[in-house]
């Protein structure tokens, strides 16, 4: 892992800790400028390895060639605009760059800089060069920057980087990749996934309907994360203005719970992975008026009937090897209700989130979830963007595939 001179270097401590927690052996190299933001002692303590800063230290020569051959992957996080420029042009004026130029393993880099620097044509050209070398760039995030401005250029959060690295290495394993071999395989290549997303609308009359606040953001993010991992995705999407243009996703639009049920049943048999992220109405009006209901009395009653439970039906007819993932959005007794759904619907994993958590659920670009499995395992994720949550869920799916 390479750490460069960016204010985001303070996140390297958590990143190293999370990588080690996931079972990785981590050796850290820092540029001299990085030492102004975080100490080598901190990263040495967390990685349990000496941290290299200079090619020659205390009379000892750091063998950059062997370090470059030792690793299964080289991760540079944060990657400053200066280091990206040097990497792109083969400049070698510190230990980190010497190891980079000696590396025979895949290279991943997580840019971190102010928006104007990130959008500069020179930076874009340098990043394009690195991509042409076969390196992988982690997405930059939008948010508050060190300058005090708001924009693009934030380094991805450590949890997201660990998820990306884990997915990358899972792809290496799936494709038979090893240290020194560029990895092109994806862990879900050849798999088909069915994802339901968004709300449903249950008509009362030609004007009115019963629905909920779901936007479909979480389900669309999951469909895109599955496609990025190599899956061929069938997305059954309820009424929402959102959409996806990912080439690995085929979208079928529906309105009602009945339509969503029918489309899911059509695609379920051919799917290896079933992710039911839609907020499907539990009830619909028993009778739908042909014309607009006029306001007359002070009170009005509408008789409701249950809709078909898509996840329960899929769980009952699940084939060997199929994975069924459900969602449980709760307001009280969250864990109890989620575990009941996990058992009753024969799910392989349930994603629990609570409307009581700030920044989670409807109306947000973020979410905070806990992944629950039938074997009692739980993984609580911090508040993350819905894209980051989706990538973590996909990593859990990959683990279930290999279990």
Catalytic residues: 212
Is 292 flagged in the annotation as binding? yes
CB 28 within 8 A of CB 49: yes
CB 72 within 8 A of CB 105: yes
Tokens of 68: 């470059």
CB 195 within 8 A of CB 219: yes
d(CA 192, CA 207): 37
Dihedral sign computed on CA atoms, order 20, 165, 172, 100:
negative
CB 351 within 8 A of CB 393: yes
Q: Report, in this order, helix, strand and coil percent for the chain, each rounded to 5.
A: 35, 20, 40
d(CA 94, CA 111): 19
Tell me the CA distances in angstroms from 120 to 81, 84, 188, one per residue in order: 10, 13, 35
Is 11 flagged in the annotation as binding? no
CB 48 within 8 A of CB 20: yes
Tokens of 101: 């130029």
Instruction: Kindly give, in sequence order, each residue whose CB lies less than 8 Å from that of residue 195, ignoring residues fewer than 6 positions away.
Output: 219, 222, 223, 226, 233, 234, 235, 236, 275, 277
SS (H, E, C) 244-258: CCCCCEEEEECCCHH
Is 341 flagged in the annotation as binding? yes
Is 150 flagged in the annotation as binding? no
Phi, psi for residue 330 in degrees, rounded to 5: -125, 160
Tokens of 227: 């496609």
| Helix locations, 80-120, DSSP H | 81-89, 95-102, 115-119
Q: 361 in helix, strand or coil?
A: coil
Is 344 flagged in the annotation as binding? no
Which residue ranges make up the annotated binding site for CTP? 282, 292, 327, 341, 345
């Amino acid at each position: 892992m390479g750490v460069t001179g960016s204010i985001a270097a303070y996140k390297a401590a958590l990143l190293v800790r999370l990588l080690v927690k996931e079972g990785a052996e981590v050796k850290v190299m820092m540029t001299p400028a990085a030492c102004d933001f975080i100490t080598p002692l901190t990263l040495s303590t967390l990685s349990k390895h000496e941290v290299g800063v200079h090619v020659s230290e205390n009379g000892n020569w750091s063998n950059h060639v062997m370090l470059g051959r030792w690793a299964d992957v080289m991760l540079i996080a944060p990657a400053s605009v200066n280091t990206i420029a040097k990497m792109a042009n083969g400049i070698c004026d510190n230990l980190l760059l010497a190891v980079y130029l000696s590396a025979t393993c895949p290279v991943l880099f997580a840019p971190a800089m102010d928006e104007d620097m990130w959008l500069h044509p020179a930076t874009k050209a340098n990043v394009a060069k690195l991509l042409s070398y076969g390196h992988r760039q982690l997405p930059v995030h939008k948010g508050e920057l060190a300058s005090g401005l708001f924009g693009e250029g934030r380094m991805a959060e450590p949890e997201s980087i660990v998820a990306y690295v884990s997915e990358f290495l899972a792809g290496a394993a799936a494709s038979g990749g090893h240290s020194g071999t560029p990895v092109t395989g994806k862990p879900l290549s050849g798999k088909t996934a069915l994802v339901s997303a968004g709300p449903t609308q249950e008509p009362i009359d030609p004007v009115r309907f019963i629905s909920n606040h779901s936007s479909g953001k979480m389900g669309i993010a999951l469909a895109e994360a599955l496609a990025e991992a190599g899956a061929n995705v069938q997305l059954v999407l309820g009424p929402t203005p959102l959409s996806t243009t990912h080439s690995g996703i085929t979208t079928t639009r529906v309105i009602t719970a009945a339509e969503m049920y029918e489309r899911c049943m059509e695609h379920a048999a051919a799917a290896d992975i079933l992710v039911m992220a839609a907020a499907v109405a539990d009830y619909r009006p028993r009778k739908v008026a042909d014309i607009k209901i006029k306001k007359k009395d002070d009170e009005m009653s509408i008789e409701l009937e249950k809709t078909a439970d898509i996840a329960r039906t899929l769980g009952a007819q699940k084939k060997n090897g199929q994975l069924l993932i459900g969602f449980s959005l709760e307001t009280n007794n969250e864990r109890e209700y989620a575990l009941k759904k996990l058992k009753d619907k024969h799910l392989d994993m349930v994603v629990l989130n609570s409307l009581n958590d700030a920044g989670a659920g409807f109306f947000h670009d973020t979410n905070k979830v806990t992944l629950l499995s039938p074997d009692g395992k739980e993984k609580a994720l911090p508040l993350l963007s819905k894209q980051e949550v989706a990538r973590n869920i996909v990593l859990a799916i990959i683990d279930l595939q290999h279990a």
